[in-house]
Amino acid sequence: MPEYWLTMLDEENFKYTVERGIYGLPESASGLAQFIKPGHRLVAYVMKEGCRELCQSFAAVLEIAGEWRKSTKPIWPDEREKGIVLYPWVVDVRVLAKGRVEFSKVKERLEELLGRGLDAKKLRLYALYYAKRPLPPGVGEFLEEELRKGQVTETRGAEFTHEDLLMAVVEVGRWLGFRVEREYRIDNFRVDVAFFKPPRATPFAVVEVHVGGDIYKDLAALKHAYDRYGSKLIYVLAGDEEAVARLLDGQGAFHEIREHVAVVRAEELLKLREALRLDGARRLLKWLELVK
């Protein structure tokens, strides 16, 4: 079973970590890098200070997906604000579960696992900076399960936002072994996401996400990527399926890419992401040498 480590972040840094797939340690905690290894999991807790949405909540479980390396330039929001490197040791991470589990709602169960009298302030005693060891058995597993329950509820009744679907695309791309770039510019066009597959220097695939807005602009960006690089095209839709089908099936310019674009419904994308988060699914992909 993997080890679980508790990390406490402010909301801005948490969102950056999830969006960019990277986590950092300050120099004072650099010794922990030798103990937090690939396959271990980080339980991310958002602190009250400066938060807006996720205050005092467990917000994600992240899997360590590489080896630790040195960072030499400011990348996190608080680093850029101060113009200095605060987290010189960084590592790639993948999201296993994401949502919001308020501390107050799981306090009773956590007290059973960690001891009576637990509150939000005492919780930091179990964080990796302070404890310098993993969470006791059962704690990380419980919190991951609670986050997954919330994801199922959200998926069933959600109205999808553009950002939610972009994050899902990014996560799926990383799980499948691609280097992922958001808002990638190709000449005068910009696609939402580009997937890169070495040794190829140009995008292997590009993705546009449509929740609302100009379908013509989306398809024009996809067509340009195909004309310029021969990239595989993916169009994620949270609506307007019939309008897109008419444009692709008609006799206009977009008819040329009809056979080269995969149209994916938002619900299907989220189901794929959930499948890739399962340990068994990832082991199978590695066994078949489809991912590293």
pLDDT by position in tens, the chain (length 292): 789 999 999 999 999 998 888 999 998 898 999 999 999 999 999 998 888 889 999 999 999 988 999 998 998 889 999 999 999 999 999 888 888 999 999 999 999 998 878 888 899 999 999 999 999 999 999 999 999 887 654 544 456 788 889 999 999 998 898 999 999 999 999 999 999 998 999 999 999 999 888 899 999 999 999 999 999 999 999 988 898 998 898 877 888 898 999 999 999 999 999 888 888 888 888 888 777 7
- CA-based nearest residue to 257, from 281, 217, 292, 230: 230
Domain boundary among 106, 138, 157: 157
Cα–Cα distance between 194 and 169 in angstroms, integer?
10
Whether 108 maps to a domain, the answer reads: yes
Whether 282 maps to a domain, the answer reads: no
CATH code, domain with 112: 3.10.590.10
244 and 116: one domain?
A: no
230 and 210: one domain?
A: yes
222 and 134: one domain?
A: no
13 and 118: one domain?
A: yes
Whether 286 maps to a domain, the answer reads: no
Residue 157 has a pLDDT of: 42
Strand partners, 129: none
Whether 120 maps to a domain, the answer reads: yes
Q: Are 121 and 169 in contact (CB under 8 A)?
A: no
- CA-based nearest residue to 142, from 180, 116, 105, 174: 105
Whether 218 maps to a domain, the answer reads: yes
Cα–Cα distance between 14 and 3 in angstroms, integer?
20
Residue 152 has a pLDDT of: 52
Compute how many other C-beta atoms are within 10 angstroms of the C-beta atom of residue 257: 18
Cα–Cα distance between 186 and 169 in angstroms, integer?
19
Treating both helix axes as pointing N-terminal to C-terminal, what angle do 139-157 and 266-276 enclose, rounded to 10 degrees?
170
85 and 169: one domain?
A: no
Compute how many other C-beta atoms are within 10 angstroms of the C-beta atom of residue 163: 12
Cα–Cα distance between 96 and 151 in angstroms, integer?
11
Angle ∠(267,206,12) on CA atoms, nearest 5:
70
62 and 77: one domain?
A: yes
Whether 91 maps to a domain, the answer reads: yes
40 and 141: one domain?
A: yes
Cα–Cα distance between 225 and 205 in angstroms, integer?
9
Domain that holds residue 257: 162-272
Cα–Cα distance between 223 and 231 in angstroms, integer?
9
Structural domains in the chain (count)? 2
24 and 126: one domain?
A: yes
132 and 222: one domain?
A: no
**In the block, which residue shows the tokens 């467990």?**
58
174 and 255: one domain?
A: yes
Whether 259 maps to a domain, the answer reads: yes
197 and 91: one domain?
A: no
24 and 153: one domain?
A: yes
- CA-based nearest residue to 274, from 143, 127, 179, 148: 148
